[in-house]
Structure 1
Amino acid sequence: MAVSSYDTIVVGVGGMGSAATYQLAKRGVDVLGLERYDVPHTRGSSHGDTRIFRLTQPEHPEYVPLAKRAHELWREVETESGTNLLTTTGSVHAGPAGGSMVEDSVRSCEAHDIDHEVLTGTELSERFPGYDLPDDHRGVYQPDGGFLACERATSAHVTQAFEHGATIRAREAVEDIDIKERGVTVTTTRGQYSADNLVLAAGAWAGKHLDFLSDRLTPQRRVLAWFQPEKPENFRPENFPVFSADVPEGSFYGFPVFDRPGFKIGRTPASPEAIDPDEWEAEPTLEDEERLRPLVEKHFPDAAGETVRLATCIVTYSDDGHFYLDTHPEYPHVSVAAGFTGHGYKFCSVVGEVLADFATQGHTNNPIGVHQFDGRL
């Protein structure tokens, strides 16, 4: 079998891998991107029309500088591609007064002097009539949040990677990765390729490619729903901030109407089940819809019309909730981005930069301390 050679191979050309391929190609690297499905596709974590962007980071204050850099890079790729990717609506993190959602959100904003307000449920609904949260809840409003058009963003990264000379091969699943002391060889369903460096951005499949991550990553099935608003004006991007909310019905997140018809929401289940990304139920069910509708009827009643659409995606959890972004603990020419735990897409642009830094200079100046392997393996 003839072996084609490249400087760097990127495994997975979804949100993270497309950004890495673009950043590498832009630096003049001879880069090959390998994707098991289409570019973009609906079998992973980087689809569903929209993904939340926010500077507020209740997960950890150290995420904030990374989010700021991601914002800069999203605007750069918008300019280079001539494509609108990031829409600013503001963001809301809501929950019971004194609860972790509110307190951690405020802490992240205060740690980095980010403009924000804490509103009661009543104040929130007065300012944004689409909301109807309990008055004993609080909403942390941050004006710079919004949403990314995720398929459009992945496509923009790939298109610009092509402009800079990248090669991308879709419908080509990776069967084996042979990591050597120097270089790697990747065998796929169609061929074999060698490179000096490897970037692994394989989403739910990352644990199948690297044994040391296999028991630290848990792919899970998620369902999204779009409902017909009865007062459409309340759910336009200019009138409705994206949100994450802890309410008695559970933990949810949502978006204004954009491109496709319907108010979009998703649910973070308290006890999700692990799935095999090669064998899972991709078709949504009536039971899936019934888990989502009560939140809309109770807290966004003006959007509780008929169901417009249901869709599924895969969320891959890390063992501690912080995504992995680092070089391999034994092989510095292999870099890894994995376990984005349902809140990673906003970081794609800067993750791509970090992965390109690793492949071209062996380190990054971006703040990634909480995401490195040290002390976590």
Structure 2
Amino acid sequence: MTESYDAIVVGVGGVGSAATYHLADRGLDVLGLERFDVPHARGSSHGSTRIVRRVQHEGADYVPLVDRAYDLWRDLERETGRDLLHVTGSVHAGAPESGLVADAREACDAHEVPYETLDAAELGERFPAYDIPDDFEAVYQSEGGFLACEQCTVAHVEAAHAAGATIRARERVLEWSETSEGVRVQTDKGRYEADELVLTAGPWTRELFPDLAAETVPVRAVMAWFQPDRPELFTPETFPVFVLRDGSADGESALADGGYGFPQYDVPGFKVGLGDPQPVADPEATDREPTQVEEELHRRFVERYFPDGAGPTMGLTTCMWTMSGDDHFLLGRPAAHDAVTVGAGFSGHGYKFASVIGEVLADYAETGETDHDVSIFDVNRV
């Protein structure tokens, strides 16, 4: 038998769980389909923490979107009783030639986001775990922090269930098609129909929507946790989240591209990642086990900029980002598709926006448009 719904969401990770919740909260009969567990560690919605920050060096167009995301994360906390958004402050630091700090300032100035500019000595005095070169400069913003990412996904799923949504894990979508009345979805366990389809499948977007294959490239990134020699310097109270970029040409691309990191939280160790993910041909078949070389690159980064954090390795894991051609998100209704909405191409910096992107995708699925200014992210630009 074919079950019928108002909307079907394919992929119930960080963004898909939010879209499922927002659709259900509006009174729609919603089905969420997830090929793995809820939550799972196969995409990019795991690893205990994800940065949230009002400083958007990626561009000023992101600032209003992240402001709304903050409001929605707090709403979700109140609705579910879970602690999701933890404020530590955020640091953007880099060599002048990297352009990171200039871009951060420009985005803040465009939307009157308050911040401080610190030199290397001032940053190290305020937050002693930081040991950046003398010629680096930094932007500090007090409202940055991190999201407990698995808990955020769980919270959206709990809220979606409370609003009446049905979510099925361990069910793989095999194919979908548009019909005269909406969409039909075939999985390995059943067949479903709906008025609307929302695709939030991360690195599997290219499999489900081949027209976007060239613009949704899966990449493999590594996250590492090291036990600090001075753990008191790496607590959420003493250590802001950071984005760091070294513009120098030293022949070590993984280090020159910089990295990002978090205080200790949830699991042992100070967490860091490097900004040099590697493209993969198939997210299903790629080797997900981090290598010793990757461990050593992360250790060298920590030794260079956070020497008190470079103790024994506590953990390593991989995640899959999905990169768009211009690193901006892909949102909206693709041309020639009357009943399909896509959320993809989050390019390693999308999780903080999951709450509001869920709202945006629900807008498109419900009415075909949104009041949010997401023109820069229009899927039809590609």
User: Given the two structures, how large is their TM-score scaled by the length of structure 1?
Assistant: 0.97
Hey, what does 1:54 align to over in structure 2?
53
Q: Which whole-Å CA distance do the structure 2 matches of 1:96 and 1:302 have between them?
A: 21
Secondary structure at the aligned position of 1:325 is classed as strand
Question: Equivalences for 1:331-346 in 2 at 5 Å?
Answer: 331-346=337-352
Q: Please, which of 279, 283, 291 is the counterpart of residue 289 of structure 2?
A: 283
Question: Equivalences for 1:204-243 in 2 at 5 Å?
Answer: 204-243=203-242
Q: Which whole-Å CA distance do the structure 2 matches of 1:225 and 1:329 have between them?
A: 40
Shifted more, 116-125 versus 26-35: the winner is 116-125
The CA deviation at 1:182 is: 3.4
Deviation string 1:22-74 (CA, Å, 9 cap, x unpaired) is 11111111000000000000111100000000111111110000000000000
The answer on 1:260 being equivalent to 2:267 is: yes
Hey, what does 2:181 align to over in structure 1?
182
Secondary structure at the aligned position of 1:62 is classed as helix
Q: Which whole-Å CA distance do the structure 2 matches of 1:18 and 1:349 have between them?
A: 9
Secondary structure at the aligned position of 1:239 is classed as coil
Q: Which whole-Å CA distance do the structure 2 matches of 1:366 and 1:65 have between them?
A: 9
Q: Which whole-Å CA distance do the structure 2 matches of 1:337 and 1:363 have between them?
A: 14
Shifted more, 245-254 versus 6-15: the winner is 245-254
Q: Which whole-Å CA distance do the structure 1 matches of 2:54 and 2:84 have between them?
A: 16
The CA deviation at 1:274 is: 2.8
The CA deviation at 1:324 is: 0.4
Question: Equivalences for 1:152-191 in 2 at 5 Å?
Answer: 152-191=151-190
Secondary structure at the aligned position of 2:186 is classed as strand
Contact 1:44-1:313 within 8 A present in 2 as well = yes
Contact 2:178-2:339 within 8 A present in 1 as well = no
The CA deviation at 1:115 is: 0.4
Q: Which whole-Å CA distance do the structure 2 matches of 1:218 and 1:328 have between them?
A: 18
Hey, what does 1:124 align to over in structure 2?
123
Contact 1:224-1:264 within 8 A present in 2 as well = yes
Deviation string 1:232-256 (CA, Å, 9 cap, x unpaired) is 1110001111001012523100000
The answer on 1:327 being equivalent to 2:333 is: yes
Q: Please, which of 319, 323, 344 is the counterpart of residue 317 of structure 1?
A: 323
The answer on 1:298 being equivalent to 2:297 is: no
The answer on 1:273 being equivalent to 2:279 is: yes
Contact 1:186-1:193 within 8 A present in 2 as well = yes
Q: Which whole-Å CA distance do the structure 2 matches of 1:277 and 1:373 have between them?
A: 22
Q: Which whole-Å CA distance do the structure 1 matches of 2:338 and 2:363 have between them?
A: 12
Q: Which whole-Å CA distance do the structure 2 matches of 1:173 and 1:287 have between them?
A: 34
Deviation string 1:106-165 (CA, Å, 9 cap, x unpaired) is 100000000011111111111101100011001111111100000000000001111111
Hey, what does 2:252 align to over in structure 1?
none
The CA deviation at 1:180 is: 2.8
Q: Which whole-Å CA distance do the structure 2 matches of 1:215 and 1:359 have between them?
A: 24
Secondary structure at the aligned position of 1:46 is classed as coil
Contact 2:41-2:319 within 8 A present in 1 as well = yes
The answer on 1:68 being equivalent to 2:75 is: no
The CA deviation at 1:97 is: 2.2
Contact 1:221-1:275 within 8 A present in 2 as well = no
Q: Which whole-Å CA distance do the structure 1 matches of 2:96 and 2:278 have between them?
A: 26
Which residue identity is paired with 1:58?
H
The CA deviation at 1:328 is: 1.9
Question: Equivalences for 1:329-368 in 2 at 5 Å?
Answer: 329-368=335-374
Q: Which whole-Å CA distance do the structure 1 matches of 2:214 and 2:313 have between them?
A: 37
Q: Which whole-Å CA distance do the structure 2 matches of 1:24 and 1:273 have between them?
A: 33
Number of residue pairs aligned between Structure 1 and Structure 2: 374
* Identical aligned residues as a percent: 52
The CA deviation at 1:98 is: 4.9
Hey, what does 1:201 align to over in structure 2?
200
User: Given the two structures, how large is their TM-score scaled by the length of structure 2?
Assistant: 0.96
Contact 1:284-1:311 within 8 A present in 2 as well = yes
- Divergent runs of 4+, >6 A: none
Secondary structure at the aligned position of 2:217 is classed as strand
Secondary structure at the aligned position of 2:60 is classed as coil
